[in-house]
Structure 1
Amino acid sequence: MKNIKSKGEYKRIKHTFDPVFDSNSRILILGSLPSVKSREEGFYYGHPRNRFWKVISSIYGYDEPKTVEEKKKMLIESNIAVWDVIDSCDIIGSSDSSIKNVEVTDLGRVLDNCDIEHIFANGKAAGKLYSKFSEQKIGRPIIELPSTSPANAAYTLEKLIEAWKIIK
């Protein structure tokens, strides 16, 4: 199916990597679905201009992690779990606005195995998708934070860090 406004065609995408968490995780940060670049990298927030790793490392006092192992270590040591709302969907490229035919992630995989105190959305799309597909089943609200995506040019890195400090 061709979409004239978007670059490319719809593709069915299946989430292919596991959530990051352990029994000490207290915060769950949910994205919508990994971007094309993240899917290529095989890990969350893989686009070099995504500011997620800069924001988290700044808030928690770490050097910005470069490798997947360093990123996982920082999250675990900071008691942060990371996953996405969508398990599979049809999408054009990395465009959250093109998402359709959503199958949601079983968030119980994380929530049943650690004492999550707060759930945060990395951006409006993740917040809306959680509210639409998961909130009633989970029975817990989500706190929407500004997206760390490079597409969110309205937020400087400094503004993102300030807004995201609520997670600590």
Structure 2
Amino acid sequence: MIWHLIAAVFAGLGAAGVGLILWLASGKQLPRWIIPACGGLGMLGYQIYNEYTWLENKQQQLPESAEIVSVEKGQMFFRPWTFAFPMTTAFTIVDLDNLSVSQGDDGRLVEFMLYRFEKEYVDQVSHQAYLVNCATREMLPLEGESRTPRTEQMRLVEVTSPLYQAICTET
């Protein structure tokens, strides 16, 4: 977080320098407020760039075996540009190297961890263990260290969903 603040300050200083050069190049004909206005636009531009590249930056930090299975985009009233271009606010991944595959009576059973990353003031990461029956497409959360199935929260996974494709079609 501190590095983003430092980067925003330097982006503002650089843009203010461009404003100063423009002011001097115009023979001081431009209004003096062009310098702080350019500085503010530089900091705002850096912040917008940082927000829209958040997903790519996080992706680079993940292991090669991590596959993104869902991405959520949203708008925010205090960021009016997001109404035209929604920004990524959260994404979910599954680590394909840590799948626990077994054969059950109904078919292939896959136990896995689902990780959810949320973009907030400080990025939030949550995880939940799940069990999927690939033949019946039933998915249910597993609770605690004992991995107790929570059958009341069972749901069906679509065959076309990226999650099902990632864990049930991989070996």
Q: State the TM-score bracket (shorter-chain normalisation).
A: under 0.3
Q: What TM-score, normalized to structure 2?
A: 0.22
Structure with higher helix content? 2
Q: What TM-score, normalized to structure 1?
A: 0.22
Structure with higher strand content? 2
Higher relative contact order (CA 8 A, sep 6+): 1
